[in-house]
Amino acid sequence: MELLISPINTEEAVSALQGGADIIDVKNPKEGSLGANFPWVIKDVKEAIESKKPVSAALGDFNYKPGSAALAAYGAAMAGASYVKIGLYDIQTEEQAFDVLSGIVKTASLMEEPPKVVACGYSDYKRINSINPALLPAIGARAGVDLVMVDTGVKDGASTFEFMSEEELIDFVNKAHELGLKTAIAGSLKFEDIPILKRINPDIIGVRGMVCGGDRTSTIKKELVEELKAKIS
């Protein structure tokens, strides 16, 4: 499993890199689960880590605004993101999800170095009235994305495992792999979740709070990134 760490600035990005992160995921927790940061922060992070690892950028927790999502993806890619990650937060139907995702995929194809497109659903979809993430592998494959992901929409300390069972997440990963897509699991993960994550075996696990000492509003600590990297390797 690869380790995706979500810094909010260059200092945290360097700590994540030095701790052994495989992907540096720029986001802004003040704007939500997949809150978008500024283009210059993406650019500065890429420069701070000297492009030693791929940079991912959260585009936001989106409702049904395919054009806005496509423009956000274009901006993030132009700023240097190798992955653009869209949260299908207030998406009600499969066709709405397809419209948003296919627009981003088409946008990526316009770039000289196309970013990988990540479609993120939410394990707590019932409480935010959004689309079931179990549908994402099929929708994502039809739209042409590269990776499908599960996160939590509400960041109140409740983890993905409180909303989806191990069996459901294994099925999510297996369906995606059968369709040629990579997978990621995130959502207030904790060190004690590592054994179940190894059984589910996604391609990537995404964290912030875990390497901030349990509080996602705190600061990423290099030693916790090192500890997590060692435990999942």
Helix, strand and coil in the chain, % to nearest 5: 45, 20, 35
What gap in Å lies between CA 21 and CA 224, rounded to an integer?
11
Query: 42 burial class (0-12, 13-18, 19+ CB within 10 angstroms)?
Result: buried
Task: Decide if 231 is catalytic.
Answer: no
Task: Decide if 43 is catalytic.
Answer: no
Q: How many CB atoms lie within 10 A of CB 52?
A: 9
Amino acid in position 164: M
With b meaning 16 or more CB within 10 Å and e meaning fewer, what string describes 193-202?
A: bbeebeebeb
What gap in Å lies between CA 229 and CA 115, rounded to an integer?
25
Which one of 27, 46, 53, 175 is the catalytic residue? 27
Which one of 46, 53, 85, 175 is the catalytic residue? 85
CA-based angle 156:45:54, to the nearest 5?
85
Measured in degrees and rounded to the nearest 5, phi and psi for residue 28 equal -135, 95
Active site residues: 27, 85
